[in-house]
Amino acid sequence: MAKRRPWRNIDAVNSWLAELSNIEGRRRFLILSGDSRVGKSDYACSLVPEGQTLRLNCQKFLYPPMRGFSQTKHKVIVFDECSVACVLENRLMFQCPNSRVQIGMSPTGRDVFSVYLHYTRLIVTSNG
Protein backbone atom coordinates (compact mmCIF):
# COMPACT_ATOMS: atom_id res chain seq x y z
CA MET A 1 0.00 0.00 0.00
CA ALA A 2 1.36 3.41 -0.97
CA LYS A 3 1.97 5.98 1.72
CA ARG A 4 1.27 9.67 1.40
CA ARG A 5 3.87 12.26 2.09
CA PRO A 6 3.23 14.16 5.32
CA TRP A 7 1.39 17.47 5.05
CA ARG A 8 3.54 20.56 5.33
CA ASN A 9 3.24 22.78 8.37
CA ILE A 10 1.37 26.04 7.85
CA ASP A 11 2.09 28.66 10.53
CA ALA A 12 -1.37 30.29 10.30
CA VAL A 13 -3.08 26.91 10.81
CA ASN A 14 -0.79 26.00 13.72
CA SER A 15 -1.55 29.28 15.51
CA TRP A 16 -5.29 28.77 14.89
CA LEU A 17 -5.06 25.28 16.41
CA ALA A 18 -3.24 26.68 19.46
CA GLU A 19 -6.04 29.20 20.10
CA LEU A 20 -8.31 26.44 21.42
CA SER A 21 -6.37 26.44 24.70
CA ASN A 22 -7.33 30.09 25.30
CA ILE A 23 -10.47 30.92 27.27
CA GLU A 24 -12.67 32.99 24.98
CA GLY A 25 -16.32 33.86 24.50
CA ARG A 26 -16.25 32.97 20.81
CA ARG A 27 -13.90 31.12 18.52
CA ARG A 28 -12.65 31.74 15.00
CA PHE A 29 -13.15 29.18 12.26
CA LEU A 30 -10.64 28.32 9.55
CA ILE A 31 -11.22 28.80 5.82
CA LEU A 32 -9.20 26.71 3.38
CA SER A 33 -9.66 28.06 -0.12
CA GLY A 34 -7.99 26.95 -3.30
CA ASP A 35 -8.33 25.09 -6.56
CA SER A 36 -10.27 21.88 -6.81
CA ARG A 37 -8.39 18.62 -6.10
CA VAL A 38 -5.50 20.12 -4.13
CA GLY A 39 -6.43 18.27 -0.91
CA LYS A 40 -8.05 20.96 1.25
CA SER A 41 -10.57 18.56 2.81
CA ASP A 42 -8.03 15.78 3.34
CA TYR A 43 -5.65 18.27 4.94
CA ALA A 44 -8.41 19.50 7.27
CA CYS A 45 -9.26 15.94 8.29
CA SER A 46 -5.57 15.21 8.98
CA LEU A 47 -5.36 17.83 11.73
CA VAL A 48 -6.79 15.42 14.32
CA PRO A 49 -6.56 11.63 14.69
CA GLU A 50 -8.71 9.52 12.38
CA GLY A 51 -12.32 9.19 13.51
CA GLN A 52 -12.46 12.59 15.24
CA THR A 53 -13.59 14.53 12.17
CA LEU A 54 -17.13 15.06 10.93
CA ARG A 55 -16.97 15.84 7.21
CA LEU A 56 -20.12 17.46 5.84
CA ASN A 57 -20.96 17.99 2.19
CA CYS A 58 -22.43 21.49 2.24
CA GLN A 59 -22.60 22.03 -1.50
CA LYS A 60 -25.98 23.63 -2.32
CA PHE A 61 -27.06 23.61 1.36
CA LEU A 62 -28.02 26.72 3.30
CA TYR A 63 -28.14 24.81 6.60
CA PRO A 64 -25.41 22.22 7.25
CA PRO A 65 -26.63 18.70 8.11
CA MET A 66 -25.38 18.68 11.72
CA ARG A 67 -27.47 15.82 13.14
CA GLY A 68 -24.47 13.45 12.93
CA PHE A 69 -22.37 15.65 15.25
CA SER A 70 -21.27 14.19 18.58
CA GLN A 71 -19.53 16.53 21.01
CA THR A 72 -17.68 13.64 22.64
CA LYS A 73 -16.50 12.11 19.35
CA HIS A 74 -15.83 14.96 16.92
CA LYS A 75 -13.01 17.46 17.46
CA VAL A 76 -13.21 18.96 13.95
CA ILE A 77 -16.10 19.64 11.59
CA VAL A 78 -15.18 20.13 7.94
CA PHE A 79 -17.81 22.00 5.94
CA ASP A 80 -16.92 20.93 2.39
CA GLU A 81 -17.81 23.45 -0.31
CA CYS A 82 -19.65 25.69 2.15
CA SER A 83 -20.98 28.89 0.61
CA VAL A 84 -20.71 32.38 2.02
CA ALA A 85 -24.53 32.44 2.24
CA CYS A 86 -24.45 29.32 4.44
CA VAL A 87 -21.89 30.89 6.79
CA LEU A 88 -23.88 34.14 7.01
CA GLU A 89 -27.16 32.30 7.62
CA ASN A 90 -25.53 30.32 10.45
CA ARG A 91 -23.11 32.92 11.77
CA LEU A 92 -23.84 32.23 15.45
CA MET A 93 -22.97 28.55 14.94
CA PHE A 94 -19.72 29.47 13.13
CA GLN A 95 -18.70 31.75 16.03
CA CYS A 96 -18.66 28.73 18.38
CA PRO A 97 -19.97 30.62 21.41
CA ASN A 98 -19.61 29.17 24.88
CA SER A 99 -23.28 28.12 24.86
CA ARG A 100 -25.65 25.85 23.00
CA VAL A 101 -26.73 27.08 19.56
CA GLN A 102 -30.08 26.23 17.99
CA ILE A 103 -29.81 25.11 14.38
CA GLY A 104 -31.92 23.20 11.87
CA MET A 105 -34.80 25.63 12.31
CA SER A 106 -37.81 24.86 10.17
CA PRO A 107 -40.70 27.31 9.63
CA THR A 108 -42.81 25.44 12.20
CA GLY A 109 -39.95 24.97 14.68
CA ARG A 110 -40.39 21.20 14.55
CA ASP A 111 -36.89 20.36 13.35
CA VAL A 112 -34.87 22.61 15.64
CA PHE A 113 -32.07 21.10 17.70
CA SER A 114 -29.11 22.53 19.52
CA VAL A 115 -25.39 21.83 19.56
CA TYR A 116 -22.49 22.91 21.75
CA LEU A 117 -19.48 23.66 19.53
CA HIS A 118 -17.23 25.78 21.73
CA TYR A 119 -14.42 23.21 21.90
CA THR A 120 -14.86 21.98 18.33
CA ARG A 121 -12.72 23.31 15.49
CA LEU A 122 -14.75 24.39 12.44
CA ILE A 123 -13.12 24.37 9.01
CA VAL A 124 -14.73 25.63 5.80
CA THR A 125 -13.31 24.45 2.49
CA SER A 126 -14.12 26.25 -0.73
CA ASN A 127 -13.02 26.50 -4.35
CA GLY A 128 -14.01 30.15 -4.57
Mean pLDDT is highest, among 16-20, 49-53, 102-106, for: 49-53
Predicted confidence band of residue 81 (pLDDT cuts 50, 70, 90): very high
Express each pLDDT in 48-75 by its tens digit.
999 999 999 998 888 888 889 999 999 9
Cα separations (Å) of 44 from 1, 39, 121?
A: 22, 9, 10
* pLDDT at residue 113, rounded to an integer: 81
* CA–CA gap between residue 11 and residue 71 (Å, rounded): 27
Select the CATH number that applies to the domain covering 25-126 from these four: 3.40.50.300, 2.60.120.10, 3.40.50.800, 3.30.450.40: 3.40.50.300
* CA–CA gap between residue 118 and residue 41 (Å, rounded): 21
User: For the chain, which residues make up each domain, given as ranges?
Assistant: 25-126
pTM given for the model: 0.88
Is the model's pLDDT at 1 over the cut of 60? no
* pLDDT at residue 102, rounded to an integer: 87
* CA–CA gap between residue 40 and residue 105 (Å, rounded): 29
Which of these, 87, 8, 2, lies nearest to 46 by C-alpha position?
8
